[in-house]
Amino acid sequence: MCGGCIENGQGFVLMVRLEKITKQNIEDVLALNVSEEQKGFVITTAESLAKAYVYSDTAYPFAVYDADELVGFIMMGFYEIKGYYTLWEFLIDQRFQNKGYGRQALKLGMQYVRDTFGDVDIYTGVAPQNSVAKRLYESVGFVKTGNIELGMEEMRCTYESKTCRCPAL
């Protein structure tokens, strides 16, 4: 799934796309890393891929690329107990943060869900202290629902009558 060429506002043109995890890219995906300050907020890609294996019918993991460079990982999913689609796991490698990759990858992940499953709302959970992630999610249309589950604040991006409230999808 390709996001096309996007100017990131810092003089760089991003050619962000999502690719399936394969035997050709798995080692690079496993080597993705976040900064020390973020390690308490995200699990490793190895843990994410273990979940994707166990929940293979409802987990949709992707490598995030800019042209041919691996920059991150995103996993969308279907939360069977609650009956809704989610941004399940997400990280941009520490070397590529603050360059616009996160926003574009997030939009592509959400677009994948909607292209595949229809006009659905998408949920995610965020640690209350993770202000960077909250701002990112809010920038693409997520809003707090007021629910807290397992210490995570629930957020939802709605899709209403073919008028997406998530900008630029």
Strand, coil or helix: 55 = coil
Using alpha carbons, select from 164, 154, 151, 27 the residue that is nearest to residue 86. Answer: 154
Residues 93 and 71: their CA atoms lie apart, in Å, by 6
Sort 58 into a burial class: Cβ within 10 Å, 0-12 / 13-18 / 19+: middle
pTM here is: 0.87
Measured in Å, how far apart are the chain's first and last C-alpha atoms?
13
What structural domains does the chain harbor? 2-164 (3.40.630.30)
pLDDT at res. 164: 45
Render pLDDT for 44-54 as a digit per residue (tens, 0 to 9): 999 999 999 99
CA pseudo-torsion sign 81, 41, 104, 52: negative
Render pLDDT for 75-118 as a digit per residue (tens, 0 to 9): 999 999 999 999 999 999 999 998 989 999 999 999 999 999 99
